[in-house]
Amino acid sequence: MNAWLIGATVLVLGLVPCAVVMLRGSVVEALVGLQMAGVLQTIVLLLLAEGFHRPPFFDLALVLALLALAGGLVFARMLERWV
């Protein structure tokens, strides 16, 4: 166990408030929770990549950051008028 893995483990706990917001809030508040969860998980992947010394996890973090941006924009656009 090293500081990176401890940090990743602690950060995963941050998903709990995000889940509460997504389950209890309005649909737009749920989107905010989802975006926060996306940021958290990107950072968790960075920490795991360094903690396990697995360079491919850095690629996962980069792709997740990109997809979270695209997905967030798609959801926001949909919520304007269609949901």
Interacting residues with another protein (CB under 8 A): 3-4, 7, 10-11, 13-14, 17-18, 20-21, 25-29, 31-33, 35-36, 39-40, 42-43, 46-47, 49-50, 55, 58-59, 61-62, 65-66, 68-69, 72-73, 76-77, 79-81
Q: How many other C-beta atoms lie within 10 A of the C-beta of residue 44?
A: 22
How many Å apart are CA 59 and CA 31, to the nearest integer?
A: 25
